[in-house]
């Protein structure tokens, strides 16, 4: 379940994709009836994940369990980025 108050926006998506990008296998994310392969930040953002959303992670490739654990940790993480100051 997504824990971040602001959902999975651009900054957390970057952190998540840094974990996914070098992976030699396939990572598929599903929210309700929408499924995407995580190949880019745009693919992840297209799910519009908000706090409380439940997702399914499907991984095919080396060390699937280890990668799944890391991704679950990231999706459940409460990212606390400071707000931008105007001026």
* Residues designated as active site: 9
By three-state DSSP, how is residue 60 classified? strand
Q: Which residues contact 1 (CB under 8 A, 6 or more apart)?
A: 52, 53, 54, 55, 75, 76
CB neighbours (10 Å) of residue 56? 10
CB neighbours (10 Å) of residue 85? 5
């Amino acid at each position: 379940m997504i824990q971040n108050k602001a959902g999975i926006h651009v900054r957390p998506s970057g952190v998540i994709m840094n974990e996914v990008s070098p992976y030699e296998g396939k990572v598929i994310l599903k929210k309700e009836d929408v499924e995407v392969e995580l190949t880019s930040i745009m693919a992840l953002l297209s799910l519009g994940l908000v706090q409380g959303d439940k997702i399914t992670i499907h991984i095919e490739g080396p060390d699937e369990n280890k990668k799944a654990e890391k991704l679950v940790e990231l999706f459940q993480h409460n990212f606390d980025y400071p707000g931008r100051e105007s001026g």
